């Protein structure tokens, strides 16, 4: 199944599931406690997002100060943004998915998966030497001199 078909099904099914879950929880504990619970998860998520965002920014700056490329931090930034968008969407399923995006160890594993399975393969396939030579790391060393 293509990614756009999966996204379409996701955006179609999630609102129905959210409405069903909100009505079910509202029927069990009442309307006002359900609304309070949704608002509480949004506030908690915003606080966690701020905390995790500053930690990611700090690690980003530390990597740059050490002269390293902050690869994981660059990938974790958009994951945090997706988590924030999910937390701002009212509902329990999107709140759960948003909280998962804010857990540092899970976020690091998702960033590692994206980096290793998708970005490195794309970079190797777009290499001017082709994936075979780029994978072996063959390099020619030499000097040149410009003669006039």
Full domain range(s) for residue 20: 15-108
Question: For the packed helices 3-29 and 92-102, what is the interaxial angle rounded to 10 degrees?
Answer: 120
Look at the chain and report how many structural domains it folds into. Answer: 1
Q: Residue 63: inside a domain, yes or no?
A: yes
CA angle in degrees (0–180, nearest 5) for 23-43-84:
90
Looking at the domain assignment, is residue 95 inside a domain? yes
The pLDDT value given to residue 114: 85
Residue 7 lies in a domain: no
Q: Supply the pTM of this predicted model.
A: 0.70
The answer as to whether 142 is a domain residue is: no
Asked if residue 140 is part of any domain, the answer here is no
pLDDT in 10s for each residue of the chain, 148 residues? 688 888 888 889 999 999 999 999 999 999 999 999 999 988 888 888 899 889 999 999 999 999 988 888 889 989 998 998 888 888 899 999 998 888 889 988 988 888 888 776 655 565 555 554 444 556 677 777 888 7
What is the C-alpha end-to-end distance of the chain, expressed in Å?
60
Length of the chain, in residues: 148
In a domain, 135, yes or no: no
């Amino acid at each position: 199944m293509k990614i756009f078909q999966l996204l379409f099904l996701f955006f179609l099914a999630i609102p129905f599931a959210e409405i069903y879950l909100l009505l079910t929880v509202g029927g069990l504990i009442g309307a006002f406690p359900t609304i309070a619970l949704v608002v509480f998860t949004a506030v908690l998520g915003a606080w966690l997002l701020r905390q995790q965002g500053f930690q990611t920014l700090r690690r980003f700056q530390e990597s740059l100060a050490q002269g390293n490329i902050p690869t994981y931090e660059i990938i974790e930034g958009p994951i945090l943004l997706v988590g924030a968008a999910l937390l701002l969407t009212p509902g329990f399923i999107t709140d759960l998915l948003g909280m998962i995006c804010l857990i540092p160890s899970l976020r690091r594993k998702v960033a590692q998966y994206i980096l290793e399975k998708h970005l490195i393969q794309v970079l190797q396939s777009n290499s001017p030497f082709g994936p075979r030579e780029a994978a072996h790391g063959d390099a020619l060393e030499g000097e040149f001199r410009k003669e006039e």
